[in-house]
Structure 1
Amino acid sequence: MTAEPTPEATLPTDPQARLEAALPATLERLRATPGAYAALWCGSAARGEGNAHSDLDFHVLVSGDDRWRANYVVNGVPVEAFHNPARKVRAMFAAGQGDTITMYAEGRPVWPHPDLDALIAEARALHAAGPEARPLGQQARFRLVEEVMDARALAGSGDPLHVLVACRAAGLATEALFDTRGWWKVKPQRWLPVLRAHDPEAARDLQTVLTAPDASARQAALEALTVRVTGDLTYHEGGSDPVAVP
């Protein structure tokens, strides 16, 4: 029997409570999926950090050889469910897919099964070990330094576009910092708390780029953040390998 939709007037107003109230009906729908036999609740709501714009995210284990994604709405709450055979999840772990590893490491089993327990244990071990650090390539370094210099020019001229360009460059620098330090990548919404845990000074620089009303302070913080990745702001020689033109 399918659960009756909860009347809108009786839904909780607290975002996290609203998301959790949709769990029973969502789980009933997941259980009704042909071939499904386990489910992991993951994402911000599973961590207790849901907001008014959060959805419910699930990884669902299925038998057979197919994998798919499903999107629907339960009691006004958006739901996204990733369906995979267990062997495909392990293949994603082996390929170093950080988002999948993180979701399994941090998720909450809501439809338990020994296969799911084993995957969670594997993901937690991989997550604790961290990804392999990747040095910044010359092309990526050149692009990052170029973005910072574009921002410096705008800061000096008082152009209001400095906010946009500086934030874009800070995003590149932050992503590069995660790569070069060997940290699992997270969504931008979690950059600041993760940086505070790993490198408080880098978190302070990013916070300043995002909030400083003064262009000079914003630019100084951007350059400090970037130097953590590049070492300096000088241009280095480099280039891509020749590619044959068809």
Structure 2
Amino acid sequence: MKAADNPHQTRLEAALPPVLERIAATPGVYAALWCGSAARGEANAYSDLDFHALVTGDHRWRSNFVVDGVPVEVFHNPVRKVRAMFAAEDAATITMFAQGRAVLPHPDLDALMAEARALHAAGPKPRPLTEDGRFKLVDEIMDCRAVVDQPTHALLALAVASRAVDRLYMVNGWWEVKRERWPADLAVKNPEAARELNAVLTASEPDSRQEGLEKLVMRLTGNLIYRDGGTAPAPVP
């Protein structure tokens, strides 16, 4: 759907001038980035307006307000804090700066957007599943098997699937996306994993849900066999 054919996008874009006026009037603000679904032209009936604002000084804060019925959220940060979030591989911040639109331009903002695009293209460092993480996933699968004939199975299976997909992104070095975008994103990155997640989400029978869940988890664990392991001793406070 084109932005011109999307009434939700049109409504949000109509609110931009007074919103930007308010952001620009905030003490310390000298640049702003429009980000989120509306900035990508993908607004829906529940979208808001999201911004990152660059500020002078040593403080960071978040503000939210409403303009013409449109909810607005603004993250205020000095440049060095944004770069610290880049260094920490903060997926949300890197993605927003990589895909956002400069609405209060400044060379500092241009530089951050260029850095974010390079980081986003490179991807995060893959983080292998730890032995402790593997044990927890296997143990949770067994907990799900134990209640496969109970109503709580759906609740447990969804929770385990959520943790498994989180780890799938980390292990493969993929940037995190919002959970509502997992099915579409995985369909591109790993279609088989997308089908397994979809089985957990949509299966009408618990056995089918469990089967999809186990296949999804085994992408990380290899199998569902317990192995010797444990954590290193830690001092007790």
TM category, shorter: over 0.9
Partners of 1:114 and 1:193 in 2: CA distance: 35
Partners of 1:144 and 1:110 in 2: CA distance: 44
Q: Which residue is equivalent to 1:198? A: 189
Partners of 1:139 and 1:114 in 2: CA distance: 45
2:163 maps to which of 148, 159, 172: 172
Q: Which residue is equivalent to 1:129? A: 122
Displacement of 1:226 in angstroms is 0.7
Q: Which runs of 5+ in 1 are unaligned?
A: 1-12
Displacement of 1:15 in angstroms is 2.6
Partners of 2:70 and 2:92 in 1: CA distance: 22
**CA RMSD after TM alignment:** 1.6
Q: Secondary structure at the match of 2:147?
A: helix
Q: Which runs of 5+ in 2 are unaligned?
A: 1-5
Q: Secondary structure at the match of 1:22?
A: helix
Partners of 1:190 and 1:142 in 2: CA distance: 27
Partners of 2:231 and 2:46 in 1: CA distance: 42
What do the CA deviations read for 1:175-220 (whole angstroms, capped 9, x no partner)?
0100000001111111112111110111111111101111111111
Q: Secondary structure at the match of 2:228?
A: coil
1:70 maps to which of 63, 74, 82: 63
Matched, 1:188 2:169: no
Q: How many pairs does the alignment contain? A: 233
Displacement of 1:234 in angstroms is 1.1
Q: Which residue is equivalent to 2:150? A: 159
Displacement of 1:60 in angstroms is 0.5
Displacement of 1:24 in angstroms is 1.4
Partners of 1:135 and 1:43 in 2: CA distance: 29
Q: Which residue is equivalent to 1:115? A: 108
TM-score (norm 2): 0.93
Partners of 1:149 and 1:20 in 2: CA distance: 49
TM-score (norm 1): 0.90
- The one-letter code sitting in structure 2 at the alignment partner of 1:37 is Y
